[in-house]
Amino acid sequence: MSKARISERICLATFLLLAIVPLLDIVLSLAGFLMPASRAAAASGLGFRVSPTYVNPTIAVGDETREAVTLQNSSAYQIIVNSQIGPSGDPGATISLDREQVSLKPGESAVVYITINVPENAPAGRRQQTILFDAASSSGNDVAIVGRVGMELDLNVIHPVAEVRWSFPHIIDSSEEVVFDASGRNSGNFTTRLEEKVDLTGLTGRDTNLAGASDPLPVGQTATVRALWDEAPLFSVQRGVLGLGSGVGTPVKATAFFIIFPWKLSLMLALMAATAATGARFQPIIAKVLAPNGRETVKAQRGKAGK
């Protein structure tokens, strides 16, 4: 190839390059102009933060707790944050949000409260749940998700008192004090007192409430709590609701029925009546033996037996 042809090709390439660069610049400018506002905001680096992103609460059955989550808009655009609870197949806890949508101006922050409620019959154990926060740019009518942050809830559900056993009489002598004993283990996560409550409801008479408490009990230790009832009615049928707890969560409960009457005195009277009846039945025989002719008859019978 001659030097002249080489020079011509170099000149042509230079010309094309000088012509294409301005055209490309125009095309890019038009693309930026036509880009939707939400994508432009995303390309500008829209800032959105959630704090904290991990919560590990311990909650007793029957209790409720609230967790605060801070949402912060650190961008130069106004955003809308939609909150939703992720799917879960575990019905052991009820989770709710105080508000599901928050609008944040540039640099603004807001607090969303998450309420966690554990029913009384929930089993103990750990549960995981995710709360999703979707940040969207609010530019005119165009609202598109530009960021998603998940917050993980790692719940530890406990039964504060375990291995509960009750000891009490079902037939109560009204002349004596009644003892309600309850033993249980502190299965919580802190030292506490075990508290026993006995609520008695009678068909007749007034209702009665009894209580007892243990000394401070370390975690994992067992104690027996006693409640005394020294004013039982003379005759009554009572329904009792017994509960043993630790001051948090729902106590372990049991229901029982009690028959109250002076059974010891009644038994003594019954024995006396039986003895009197027996004595009355044998009294004619004893009187006949002790009579003069009765003694002669006995001697005669003995004499015949001797022959």
Is the sign of the CA dihedral 41, 42, 43, 45 positive or negative?
positive
Residue 217 confidence (pLDDT) above 50 = yes
pLDDT at residue 269, as a whole number: 78
Element (DSSP H or E) covering residue 81: strand 79-85
pLDDT at residue 176, as a whole number: 87
Cis peptide bond N-terminal to 52, omega within 30: yes
pLDDT average, residue stretch 219-240: 92
pLDDT at residue 17, as a whole number: 52
Region of poorest pLDDT, from 191-195, 228-232, 276-280: 276-280
Q: Are 24 and 30 in contact (CB under 8 A)?
A: no
pLDDT at residue 24, as a whole number: 46
**Which residue type occupies 151?**
M
pLDDT at residue 38, as a whole number: 35
> Is the pTM above the cut of 0.85?
no
Region of poorest pLDDT, from 138-147, 207-216, 275-284, 288-297: 288-297
pLDDT at residue 287, as a whole number: 53
Q: Are 236 and 202 in contact (CB under 8 A)?
A: yes
Res. 212 pLDDT band, cuts 50 70 90: very high
For the segment 136-190, what is each residue's pLDDT rounded down to a tens digit? 877 655 555 567 899 999 999 999 999 999 999 999 998 889 999 999 999 998 9
Region of poorest pLDDT, from 24-28, 29-33, 105-109: 29-33
| CB neighbour burial string for 251-275, b if at least 16 within 10 angstroms, e if fewer | bbeeebebebbbeeeeeeeeeeeee
Residue 49 confidence (pLDDT) above 50 = yes
CA distance 91 to 88: 8
Res. 33 pLDDT band, cuts 50 70 90: very low
**Residue whose pair of structure tokens reads 């001051």 in the numeric block:** 247
Q: CA nearest 67: which of 59, 78, 75?
A: 59
pLDDT > 70: percent of the chain: 71
For the segment 232-281, what is each residue's pLDDT rounded down to a tens digit? 888 889 999 999 999 899 999 999 999 998 878 778 778 887 887 776 66
Beta strand pairing status for 252-261 and 48-51? unpaired
- More confident site: 233 or 23: 233
Residue 124 confidence (pLDDT) above 80 = yes
Please give the C-alpha separations between residue 176 and each of 18, 206, 257, in angstroms, as whole numbers: 113, 19, 18
pLDDT at residue 297, as a whole number: 53
CA distance 273 to 275: 5
- More confident site: 11 or 29: 11
Is the sign of the CA dihedral 159, 164, 169, 171 positive or negative?
positive
CA distance 111 to 220: 38
Please give the C-alpha separations between residue 69 and each of 48, 147, 158, in angstroms, as whole numbers: 13, 17, 24
Please give the C-alpha separations between residue 227 and each of 130, 172, 213, 263, in angstroms, as whole numbers: 45, 15, 8, 22
Nearest 5°: phi and psi at 108?
-90, 155
Pull the structure tokens for residue 197: 């409550």
CA distance 159 to 186: 9
Q: Are 102 and 81 in contact (CB under 8 A)?
A: yes
pLDDT > 90: percent of the chain: 45
